[in-house]
Amino acid sequence: MLHANGESILSRNKGESLSEHCCHSKTEDLKSMAREQARVLWIVLLLNIAGFILEFYSGLRFHSASLSADSLDMLGDSLAYASSLYVINLGTKAKIRSSQFKGILMLLFGIFVGIKTIYEFLSGQYPDAHAMSVIGIVVLAINTFCLFLLTKHKNDDINFKSVWLCSRNDMIANISVLCAAGLVAYTSSKIPDVIVGIGISILFLKSSFVVLSEARQAI
């Protein structure tokens, strides 16, 4: 009887030890993942701030609706990445709120870009196709690198899923800007630039509804 009890106690202690080891290992894995996520977010945040400054100035300087629209996309992403950094070590509810914040940002920027594009269309200024091409290539290189870094973590949680979606939209917007630059040069018309500006606005609005819908379902 004592022998049986002794075996029972040893088995229980062994089970508790294994359970504690597994919990500790899981905690360390989560901490390691959070550190890696934070490192990636800091890199893409700083690159997006630099890209925003470059594109915003260029959009105003060269009268390009698509560059202005894409610059606001990068500003919105910078704010989104900062929000993601803030909640990276917090719980699921905080990450859901961060996703909602990003969805609302996309909605507001989509509306603003639409208004700005209409203004550029009605103005008498024409965009500089060469400047659009040069700036577009530089920013595309920045966003390609950012998307490469974020893709590894896109399925980590809802926070990173929305961040990855922001970066993917950047790539689409960048390629659209380059297409607009080529068409502006070919047609000597600002219509392609305006069409791309409207397209980016629609992309913002659509993505905002996707992010807000996923956040609502996760609540």
* DSSP codes, 2-61: HHHHHHHHHHHHHHHHHHHHHHHHHHHHHHHHHHHHHHHHHHHHHHHHHHHHHHHHHHHH
Query: Rounded CA gap, 176 and 132, in Å?
Result: 11
* DSSP codes, 154-199: TTS-HHHHHHHHHHHHHHHHHHHHHHHHHHHHHHT-SHHHHHHHHH
Q: Which of 211, 198, 116, 197 is nearest to 168 (CA)?
A: 211
User: What six digits make up the tokens of 60?
Assistant: 């105003």
Has domain 34-218 been given CATH number 3.40.50.170? Answer: no
User: What six digits make up the tokens of 78?
Assistant: 């910078």
Q: Note the pTM of the prediction, 2 decimals.
A: 0.67
Query: Rounded CA gap, 155 and 185, in Å?
Result: 40
Per-residue pLDDT of the chain (219 residues; tens, 9 = 90+): 445 555 555 455 555 554 554 444 445 544 666 677 788 888 888 998 999 999 889 888 888 888 887 887 788 778 777 877 776 666 677 767 777 777 887 788 888 888 878 887 887 777 888 888 999 899 999 988 988 888 877 676 666 677 777 778 778 878 888 888 898 888 888 888 888 888 888 877 887 887 788 777 766
Query: Rounded CA gap, 160 and 72, in Å?
Result: 20
